[in-house]
Homo-oligomer: A and B are copies of this chain.
Amino acid sequence: VPDIAFVNEKFMPLGQATVHVEDRGFQFADGVYEAVRTYHGRPFALDEHLARLDLSLAGIKLVAPLSRSELAGIVHEGIRLAGYRESVVYIQITRGVAPRHRRFPTNTKPTVVLTFRECPPVSDTPLGKAIRIVTLDDFRWGWCHIKSVALLASVLAYEQAHAAGADDAVFVEPDGTVTESTAGNLFVVKESRVRTPPLGPKLLAGITRGKFIEAARSIGLTCDELPVTRDDLYAADEVCLTSTTVELVAVKSVDNRPVGGDKAGPVTTRMFQQFRKVHAGA
C-alpha cells in the first residue's frame, strides 16, 4: 500500500498529492499545521490537536474551511484507508492559492492537506539513547506559540546542531532563559523536582508537554512551569525533550557538558512509564 494523502476534498496516493506553486503555503509560509500520532490505531489526543490547530488558525487570522468534526472524520478515514498498525497524521492548512502578493487574498479557499505515514509500533519505541544538545541564541520569529510552517529557522538550527556534533538545539532568549528545542518541549530535573519553561510566545504549548506535566504530578512529583536558564540546564540532574512523534528523549550533554547519563535518568523514566501507562496502554 502506498502512503496516502488528502488534498482539498479527496484522498489520493501521496505520490500524486500536489499543490499549486502559488499556494500561499509555498510562497509565504502562510499556513499552520499539526502532527497527530496513533496509539493502538487510535489517534492520540486528537481533540486537543484540533483545538490547537484552531488556535493557530486564529493566530494567523485564517478561517478553517472545515469544522473540527469534519477534519476529525478525515483523520479517522485516512487512518483506516492507510491501514498501518500505527500512523502519524500530518495536517496542514494554508491561506490557499492566489496571485502572489503579501496581502490576504479575498474569496480564496484555504488549502487543506493531510498525509498519513507509518509510525513505529509502541513496543519498538521505548526510551531510546540519550542525545546531545547545544544552546543557540533564538533567531526565530516572535510568535512561536503559533504552529506555523515558517520553520526555516528551526531547520537551520537543527543543521547547526548537527554541524557542531550534537543531535538537536534548544533556543536561548535574550533574557537568558531557554524555551524549547527545534521540535520539542524541554524538561529539567534537579533534586527530584521537575521544571519546564512556562507557556509564552516563544514556545509551543505541546500536547505531549501537557501530558508529561500531568504524568509527573500524578505520581507525586513536583512539576513547576517556571523559567529555565542555560545554567539550570548545565546544573540539571536530568534533561529531556518531549514531542508527539518522539514522545520523550533524554539528553546526555548540553553544550558538551555532561548532564545525566547515556540513558534516561530515574525521574525521567518514572514520568515516561506513567505517560505510557495512561496514554499508550503500555
Residues of B within 8 A of A150 (CB): 29, 141, 150-153
User: A190: which B residues are within 8 A, CB to CB?
Assistant: none
Residues of B contacting A100 with CB < 8 Å? 90, 115, 117
Q: Across the interface, do B152 and A148 meet the contact criterion of CB distance under 8 Å? A: yes
Is the beta-carbon distance between A30 and B102 smaller than 8 angstroms? no
Q: Which of B139, B149, B152 contacts A60 (CB 8 A)?
A: B152
Docked-complex contact B153 and A143, CB < 8 angstroms: yes
A29 touches B151 (CB 8 A): yes
Q: Is A140 an interface residue (CB 8 A)?
A: yes
Interface centre among A33, A99, A140, A141 (most CB of B within 10 A): A141
> A225 contacts the other chain (Cβ, under 8 Å)?
no
- CB contact under 8 A between A142 and B152, given known A18-B19, A26-B26, A103-B162: no
Tell me if A155 counts as interface (CB < 8 A to partner B). yes
Interface bits A1-35 vs B (CB < 8 Å: 1, else 0): 00001010000001101111111111111100100
A155-B102 contact in complex given A17-B20, A18-B18, A21-B19, C-beta closer than 8 Å = yes
The B-contacting residues of A in range 142-188, CB under 8 angstroms, are 142-143, 148-156, 158-159, 162, 174, 182-183
Contact call A19/B26, Cβ cutoff below 8 A: yes
Q: Contact flags (1/0) for A247-274 with B, using CB distance below 8 Å?
A: 0000000000000000000000000000
Interface size on A, residues (CB 8 A): 53
Residues on the B chain within 8 Å of A102, using CB: 151, 154-155, 158, 182-183
User: What residues make up the interface of A, taking CB atoms closer than 8 Å to B?
Assistant: 5, 7, 14-15, 17-30, 33, 60-61, 90, 92, 94, 99-100, 102-104, 113, 115, 117, 138-143, 148-156, 158-159, 162, 174, 182-183
**27 pairs from A and B in contact (CB 8 Å cutoff):** A14-B21, A15-B20, A17-B21, A19-B21, A19-B26, A21-B113, A26-B94, A27-B33, A27-B92, A27-B149, A27-B151, A28-B149, A28-B151, A28-B155, A29-B29, A30-B152, A60-B156, A61-B156, A90-B100, A102-B151, A102-B154, A102-B155, A103-B158, A140-B142, A142-B153, A143-B153, A149-B152
